[in-house]
Structures are given as structure tokens and as C-alpha cells.
């Protein structure tokens, strides 16, 4: 287009002179929408220098009042410093969440942004001295997010910094060491968000003590607190520290509290005596917005006290099987005042029973109940049903109940969904007459059942029995047209690198135990073609996928796929779907993130050549027991895909080979990619835990360590 803003004259095929409209002839409103899509560094350092009009628009308050640099992986320290200089008089909300590559000296320039009211430096290299300097300069600050590391010392905070902290209304602390952080100085807090990521042992193998320093015990009584959120990584120290933070709740429950979210991994979280008092207090005001409590903190009477008369927006009953009947009674039979207000519901593991226990029909999701839930909670946007079971019976000649997929199709606003693999199956088809096991015997594990519904998807099959087995899933895709994130996880799946290991490993059943989950094959994955807006897809623990032809078909139709996570697909001892995976990657032109966890993965030149067809790829994580990799192929791939800033490989190979490749990649590409994180290490090496500890937490949380991301508590301010 004509960048000078004038209309250009061009000749058409017929020789007539026509006017061509240049970019700058567009209205300011349209240009602002275009500029909003650009990284702020490019906006201020490049676009603003083109002409006077673009410079004026680039400094519009709609573009610069709220700025996020979290995904600017190619921005080095110098670029960020220059950007901050130009932003300093305009920005009011600034997020550098996860900017692990920036040096500490760069962060000191944030003190120029005197108008800041919100600042997020989670994951950044920030000492207590620099934090104190920043706080002393930012007197208008009301919201702060940062990491409390082992070097943190509240005694190094200046009086001016303490004055700023006293005015904070919102605080998010990621605790990497036992500490109260800056909480004792924040008497006006309305929102407190805590993430506990403290290891039980130091790098030297010494146990971590949770005894806090003298002078840190003066925690305020949260008089103004409205929201309390705590997310814990595995470990006893994290649980002990959480109870210290909650100690004042035994004396006084904040009257305005309307959000209380606590997530503790593991089957038996430490009991909190004040949980019932909290539930009673939450139910009194009638303005509860969000609730999540560990399984040992909540019983049916307490749940009724908390939810009665309220209309919450977010509820999580993850791993709370004792609440299985009461949850649906409260949501469907008048316990909750207005269930249409509910937008996020996590029922992960709510009806889960251990493999050693006897299952019956009461332990399964019922399509009729879920249909009532979909109608009553019609505005649900996020639903997590991981670690549950749904077994659809398809009996010829009988009027069978509707499929779960048909029930969930009523959720017209659904954006993200996690399903157990068995929920995709339509049950035992009539053509599989060799399978005569009853559902009860399959659930009890008394017989080895025949393999059900393992047909490969063939694009030229037409209307076959394979297609019939996906009718429930087809109804789901037709109804939930707004779905952007989908997770399908087999009941026996356990990641080699899980985020919440104690919880996962102690509660899953043996791989392939659920016959309905074994019946999910390529035809079911191909049926996802109807999800045109799908951006994030996770498939884990699906032994019924043989050749992977369904992946290819899905990729051809889901053009907007940006995040793909595949784990333990098909047979355990061989990777039969490698050719189909390579073909799939060639169609994923918008892919930005790939996590692949598969035994016996061969990351050879053919694999990386296919992966090079993803020009927008940024993050790559390969995890493979007995897997192999080709160093020269990886180096060529990194050369071609210049946006890749994360390359994590945990496979086979010697420690020397892994370290050599890691050093080579860092030396070749770190200069042009400031955020480059390369970690290549043998999967079963004894030092792997300490290596993982050094990986930036933002990458561990989002990519490297496996976890569900649907209907979870938010991680950013």
C-alpha cells in the first residue's frame, strides 16, 4: 500500500486508471486495531519512526496504558530498556511475567514509569534491593506480582518501599523459599494470590525447614481481604507454610471474602480445622464468586453452607469424590441461587475410585445428569471432567439414553473442555460380536476384554461402522462450535514428568483398564474436524490409536491449531504413528508449541524436517523413554525455525552427548534469541530433578511438566 497516505494511480487489465487506497488512508480506529496486534517494542522502536501519523497513533493511550512484554521472546535487554524509556510517561499497567531472560540491571529502569499502578515481574531476576528501589519510586502502585526467592530479606526494604506496600490492594507472591514475603506490610490487601513452589530438600540434599524468621510472624489479619488464592506444588513444606498463612483465619474470617481457592496436590492434604467456619462465613453474604477447597477440608454439610444462596462464577471440586452427589444436587435442585452465573466448573476426579475398589454405575457420569447441568448452567465456558468415567451402552433394538457428547452439546458458549477418553466412545458396536463381556465385569477387571473399536480412520471409508462409533462426539463438535481448547486424557495415563506427581501417581488405574477408553481410535480424532476454532489440543493415554490417520485428517481441518500436546499414543513399545505425525506437522502451519511424550520416539531428520514446516513454532518439548535424537537434525531445525526459543529434550543418549548438543545450540543461537532455553538431558539420569529445578517456572508450568490447563485458577494478574 502507499505509506505516504496518498492514493496511488494504477492501471487495470483494461487499461483504465483506478485509485488504490493506501494503508494510511484507513481510519484511525482501524489503524489502531492493526497496531494493537504488534509487539510494543516494534511499535515504539520501529513503526513510530515511519511517519508523523503513525507516531501519533503508536503513542495512543489505548496501546500504551496496559502493556505486556511476556511473549516478546526476541526482545533483548537493550530493546526493553529503550522501550521502557518511551513508555515511562504513558504506561499504567506493565507485565513482565515470565521474562526470565532479562538481566536485573534492566529491571531498574522500571522506576522511570512513575504512573504505574500495576506491575508484574514474576519470574524475573529481582533482588530485594532492586525491589525496594522500584517500590520507593512507584508510589501509585496498587497491584504487585513477584517472586520470593531464597535471597529475599524484608529487612532490606526501605521505609519508602514499605509505604508503597501499605497502599497495595492486590499482591501475588510466588514463594520459592519459606517466607511471608511482603504480606506483613500490606494492610490494605483486597486480593492475595500465592503460589507455593518450595522443594522439601535443598540442592545439597538437606531438608528445608519451615520455621520463619523472627519478625515475619506479624501477618496482618486480612481485614479488607476479598480474594484469597493459593496454588501448591507437591511437598510437605508447601502445605505447612500455607497453614501458617491461614493461621489468622482461625481468629477472624474476613467479612468481605468472596473468592477462596486453594489447590493442594496429593490424596491426603493436611486438615485445616477452620474450614467449616470458613464455609459458613462464605455462605452468609450471598456474594461468593469462586470456591475451591482440598478434599480433606470440605464435607457435604460444609459445601451446602458455602454454596447455599450464592451464585458463584467458578467452582472446583477436583479430587473430591465424597461430594459427588451433593455437587449436582446443589447445582440442579435450587441450592445455588442462579446457576447460569457459573462460567468455570472443575469436576476432575470427582467420581473417581481407585482400581482396587469396586465400581458400579453410580461411579460414572450420567448423560441425563450432565444434560440437566448443561441446561441449568448454560453459560459454562470451561469444564474439566478429567479422571472421571462415562461408559455409553449401545444395545441394538433398545431405546438407549443420549450420549454424553449430545448432553454437552447444549453448552453453546463452551471455550475449553477436558474429557476422559472413554467419554468419546459410543460403546460396544454390534459388529464386535466377539466381545461378550458385561460392563460390570470390565469395570471390575475380572476378565481380559476384547479390544473394542480399534478401526483406523480412512478418509475414503464413507458411512461405515467406524463413523457410527463417533456419533456422540460428532454431536458435541456440532454443538460446541466456540470450543478453542480440548483435552482428551485416558484414565490410565501417567506422565513421566508430571506437574502434580503425588496426586496423579497415587490415583490412576493401570493403563488400558477401561475398555471404553481402549475403543477410542483414529476415527474419533478425525471427528474433531468440526472444531474449526480449535487452538489447543491435548491427547494423552490413548492406546486405541494405531496409525494416526485421524491426526492428519484433524490437522487438515483445524487450521488454527497453535498448541499440540501428544502423550502415550498407541502401543507402548513401538511408535506406529510416526509417519502420520510427520504428515500432521506439515499441515500445522500456525503451530507455536509442541509437547510430545512418547516411548521409543525417534527424533531423526525426517521428524525435524516435518517440524520445520511449522514456521511459527516457539516452544518444543520432547520426552521419551528409550528415545533417540539426531544432533545434526536438531541443529538444522533450529537454524530453519528462527522463532524457537525453547528446546527441551529428555530422552536417551549419554550425558556427554546431551551436554555437547545443548552447549552447541546455546552458543549458536542465544545471541539472536535472548530468551533461548535449551535443556537436553537423559530422562532417567539421577540428577534430572536438579536440572528441572533450574528451568524457568513459566516454562515448567505451561509446557515441560504435564498438567491439565482447563478450569484451573488463573496464574497471572
- List the grid coordinates of 701: 508450568
Average pLDDT on 283-292 reads 92
Query: With 0-12 CB in 10 A as exposed, 13-18 as middle and 19+ as buried, what is 348?
Result: buried
Longest dimension (CA), the chain: 86
Q: How many CB atoms lie within 10 A of CB 574?
A: 10
Nearest alpha carbon to residue 611 among 633, 628, 626: 633
Q: Which of 334, 305, 300, 332 lies closest to 317, judged by CA?
A: 300
* Contact predicate 429/499, CB 8 Å: no
Average pLDDT over residues 132-159: 96
Residue partners of 71: CB distance under 8 A and separation at least 6: 39
- The per-residue pLDDT for range 376-410, each reduced to its tens digit, is 999 999 999 998 888 887 654 445 568 899 999 99
C-alpha cell at 251: 481468629
Lowest-confidence segment of 22-31, 202-211, 459-468 by average pLDDT:
459-468
Cell 448452567: give the residue: 377
Cross-strand pairs, 681: 650
- Band (159; pLDDT cuts 50, 70, 90): very high
Give dist(CA 68, CA 66) in Å, integer: 7
Q: How far does the chain reach from its first CA to its final CA, in angstroms?
A: 39
> Distance between CA 357 and CA 100 in Å, rounded?
46
Mean pLDDT of 559-575: 93
- The pLDDT value given to residue 13: 44
pLDDT per residue over 28-47, tens digit each? Answer: 899 999 999 999 999 999 99
**pLDDT reading at 436 higher than 70:** no
How high is the pLDDT of residue 121? 97
Q: How far apart are CA 700 and CA 625, in angstroms?
A: 19
More confident residue, 215 or 327: 327
Stretch 643-670: mean pLDDT: 96
pLDDT of amino acid 400: 59
Cα–Cα separations (whole angstroms), residue 559 to 478, 563, 581, 592, 689: 17, 12, 16, 13, 37
Closest to 198 in 3D by CA, of 234, 249, 159: 234
In the block, cell 490409536 appears at: 545
Residue 517 has pLDDT above 80, yes or no: yes
Q: Which of 136-150, 210-224, 288-302, 439-453 has the highest mean pLDDT?
A: 136-150
For residue 142, pLDDT beyond 90: yes
* pLDDT the model gives residue 509: 54
Q: If DSSP codes are grouped into helix, strand and coil, which group holds residue 671?
A: coil
**What pLDDT is recorded for position 468?**
52
419 Cβ contact list (under 8 Å, min separation 6): 385, 386, 486, 487, 488, 489
Measured over the CA atoms of residue 424, residue 562, residue 102 and residue 155, the dihedral's sign is negative
Q: What is the pLDDT at residue 122? A: 97
Q: Can you name the residues that pair with 596 across neighbouring β-strands?
A: 566, 622
pLDDT of 108 above 90? yes
How does residue 177 score in pLDDT terms, banded at 50, 70 and 90?
very high
318-322, 429-433, 482-486, 520-524: least confident range: 429-433
Domain locations in the chain? 1-64, 361-393+403-429+452-704
Average pLDDT over residues 241-248: 91
Over range 490-495, report the average pLDDT: 86
Work out the pLDDT band at 212, boundaries 50, 70, 90: low
- Among 38-47, 107-116, 232-241, 444-453, the range scoring the smallest mean pLDDT is 444-453
Kindly tell me if the per-residue pLDDT of 277 is higher than 70. yes
Note the pLDDT of residue 507.
47
- The residues that bridge with 595 in the sheet, in sequence order, are 565, 621
Burial class (CB in 10 A: 0-12, 13-18, 19+), 29: exposed
pLDDT digits (tens, 9 = 90+) for 572-601: 888 999 999 999 999 999 999 999 999 999
Nearest to 192 by CA among 224, 223, 157, 229: 229
The overall average pLDDT reported for the chain is 86
Pick the range with the lowest mean pLDDT from 227-241, 429-443, 522-536: 429-443
Inter-helix orientation angle 128-137/159-166, to 10°: 70
In CATH terms, the fold of domain 361-393+403-429+452-704 is 3.80.10
Q: SS3 for 452-487, per residue?
A: CCCCCCCCCCCCCHHHHCCHHHHHHHHHCCCCCEEE
With a cut of 90, say whether residue 661 has pLDDT above it. yes
Residue 522 · residue 548 · CB < 8 Å: yes
Q: How many residues does the chain have?
A: 717
Which element (helix H / strand E) includes 554?
Answer: helix 549-557
Q: Which one has a higher pLDDT value, 12 or 167? A: 167
Q: Residue 461 pLDDT > 70, yes or no?
A: no
Q: At residue 202, does pLDDT exceed 50?
A: yes
Higher pLDDT, 262 or 401: 262
Question: Distances in Å between the alpha carbon of 667 and those of 48, 490, 638?
Answer: 33, 40, 12
List the one residue out of 650, 368, 396, 356 whose CA is nearest residue 510.
Answer: 356
pLDDT higher than threshold 80 for residue 106: yes
| In contact, 44 and 83? CB cutoff 8 Å | yes
Q: Which of 131, 233, 116 is nearest to 181 (CA)?
A: 131
Share of the chain above pLDDT 90, in %: 68
Of 189-193, 411-415, 457-461, 685-689, the least confident: 457-461
Name residues whose C-beta falls within 8 Å of residue 130's C-beta, 6 or more positions apart in sequence: 104, 107, 108
Give residue 24's pLDDT: 82
CA distance 86 to 72: 17
pLDDT on residue 251: 85
> Are the C-beta atoms of 77 and 41 separated by less than 8 Å?
no
Amino acid at each position: 500500500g502507499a505509506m505516504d497516505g496518498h492514493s496511488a494511480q494504477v492501471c487495470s487489465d483494461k487499461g483504465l486508471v483506478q485509485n488504490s487506497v493506501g494503508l494510511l488512508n484507513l481510519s484511525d480506529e482501524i489503524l489502531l486495531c492493526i497496531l494493537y496486534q504488534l509487539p510494543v517494542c516494534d511499535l515504539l522502536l520501529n513503526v513510530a519512526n515511519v511517519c508523523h501519523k503513525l507516531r501519533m497513533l503508536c503513542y495512543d493511550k489505548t496501546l500504551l496504558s496496559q502493556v505486556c512484554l511476556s511473549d516478546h521472546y526476541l526482545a533483548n535487554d537493550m530493546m526493553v530498556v529503550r522501550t521502557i524509556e518511551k513508555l515511562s510517561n504513558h504506561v499504567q499497567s506493565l507485565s513482565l511475567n515470565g521474562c526470565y531472560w532479562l538481566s536485573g540491571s534492566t529491571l531498574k529502569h522500571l522506576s522511570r514509569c512513575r504512573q504505574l499502578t500495576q506491575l508484574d515481574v514474576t519470574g524475573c531476576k529481582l533482588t530485594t534491593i532492586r525491589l525496594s528501589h522500584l517500590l520507593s519510586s512507584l508510589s501509585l502502585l496498587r497491584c504487585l506480582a513477584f517472586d520470593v526467592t531464597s535471597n529475599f530479606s524484608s529487612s532490606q526494604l526501605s521505609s519508602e518501599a514499605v509505604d508503597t506496600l501499605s497502599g497495595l490492594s492486590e499482591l501475588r507472591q510466588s514463594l520459592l523459599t519459606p517466607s511471608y514475603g511482603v504480606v506483613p506490610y500490606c494492610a490494605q490487601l483486597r486480593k492475595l494470590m500465592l503460589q507455593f513452589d518450595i522443594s522439601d530438600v535443598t540442592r545439597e540434599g538437606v531438608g528445608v525447614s519451615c520455621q520463619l524468621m523472627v519478625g515475619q510472624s506479624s501477618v496482618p489479619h486480612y481485614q479488607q481481604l476479598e480474594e484469597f488464592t493459593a496454588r501448591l506444588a507437591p511437598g510437605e513444606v508447601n502445605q505447612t507454610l500455607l497453614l501458617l498463612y491461614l493461621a489468622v483465619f482461625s481468629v477472624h474470617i474476613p467479612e468481605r471474602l468472596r473468592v477462596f481457592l486453594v489447590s493442594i496436590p496429593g490424596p491426603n492434604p493436611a486438615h485445616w480445622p477452620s474450614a467449616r467456619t470458613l464455609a459458613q462465613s462464605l455462605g452468609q453474604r450471598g456474594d461468593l464468586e469462586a470456591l475451591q477447597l482440598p478434599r480433606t477440608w470440605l464435607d457435604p454439610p460444609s459445601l451446602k453452607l458455602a454454596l447455599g444462596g450464592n451464585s458463584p462464577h467458578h467452582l472446583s471440586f477436583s479430587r473430591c469424590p465424597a461430594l459427588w452427589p451433593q455437587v449436582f444436587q446443589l447445582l440442579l435442585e435450587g441450592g445455588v441461587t442462579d446457576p447460569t452465573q457459573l462460567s468455570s466448573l472443575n469436576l476432575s476426579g470427582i467420581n473417581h475410585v481407585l482400581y482396587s475398589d469396586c465400581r458400579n454405575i453410580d461411579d460414572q457420569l450420567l448423560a441425563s445428569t450432565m444434560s440437566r447441568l448443561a441446561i441449568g448452567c448454560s453459560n459454562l465456558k470451561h469444564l474439566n471432567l478429567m479422571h472421571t468415567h462415562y461408559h455409553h451402552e449401545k444395545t441394538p433394538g433398545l431405546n438407549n439414553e443420549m450420549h454424553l457428547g449430545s448432553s454437552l452439546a447444549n453448552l453453546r458458549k463452551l471455550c475449553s473442555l477436558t474429557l476422559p477418553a472413554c467419554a468419546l466412545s459410543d460403546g460396544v458396536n454390534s459388529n464386535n460380536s466377539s466381545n461378550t463381556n458385561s460392563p460390570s465385569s470390565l469395570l471390575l477387571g475380572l476378565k481380559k476384554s476384547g479390544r473394542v473399536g480399534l478401526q483406523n480412520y480412512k478418509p475414503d471409508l464413507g458411512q461405515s461402522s467406524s463413523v457410527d462409533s463417533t456419533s456422540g462426539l460428532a454431536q458435541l463438535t456440532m454443538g460446541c462450535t466456540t470450543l478453542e481448547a480440548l483435552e482428551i486424557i485416558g484414565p490410565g495415563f501417567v506422565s513421566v514428568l508430571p506437574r502434580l506427581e503425588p496426586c496423579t501417581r497415587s490415583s490412576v488405574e493401570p493403563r488400558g483398564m477401561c475398555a471404553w477408553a481402549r475403543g477410542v481410535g483414529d476415527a474419533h480424532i478425525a471427528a474433531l474436524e468440526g472444531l474449526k476454532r480449535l487452538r489447543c489440543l491435548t491427547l494423552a493415554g490413548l492406546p486405541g490409536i494405531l496409525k494416526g490417520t485421524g491426526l492428519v485428517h484433524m490437522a487438515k481441518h483445524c487450521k488454527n491449531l497453535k498448541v499440540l500436546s501428544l502423550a502415550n499414543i498407541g502401543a507402548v513399545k513401538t511408535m506406529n504413528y510416526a509417519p502420520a505425525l510427520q504428515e500432521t506437522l506439515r499441515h500445522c502451519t500456525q503451530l507455536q508449541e509442541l509437547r510430545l511424550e512418547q516411548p521409543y520416539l525417534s527424533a531423526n531428520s525426517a521428524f525435524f524436517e516435518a517440524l520445520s514446516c511449522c514456521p511459527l513454532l516457539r516452544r518444543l518439548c520432547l520426552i521419551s523413554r528409550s528415545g533417540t535424537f539426531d544432533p545434526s537434525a536438531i541443529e538444522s531445525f533450529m537454524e530453519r525455525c528462527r522463532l524457537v526459543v525453547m528446546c527441551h529434550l529428555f530422552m536417551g543418549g549419554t550425558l556427554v552427548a546431551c551436554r555437547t548438543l545443548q552447549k552447541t545450540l546455546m552458543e549458536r543461537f542465544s545471541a539472536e534469541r535472548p530468551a533461548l532455553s535449551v535443556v537436553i538431558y537423559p530422562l532417567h539420569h539421577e540428577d534430572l530433578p536438579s536440572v528441572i529445578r533450574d528451568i524457568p517456572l513459566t516454562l515448567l508450568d505451561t509446557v515441560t511438566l504435564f498438567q491439565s490447563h482447563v478450569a484451573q485458577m488463573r496464574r497471572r494478574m
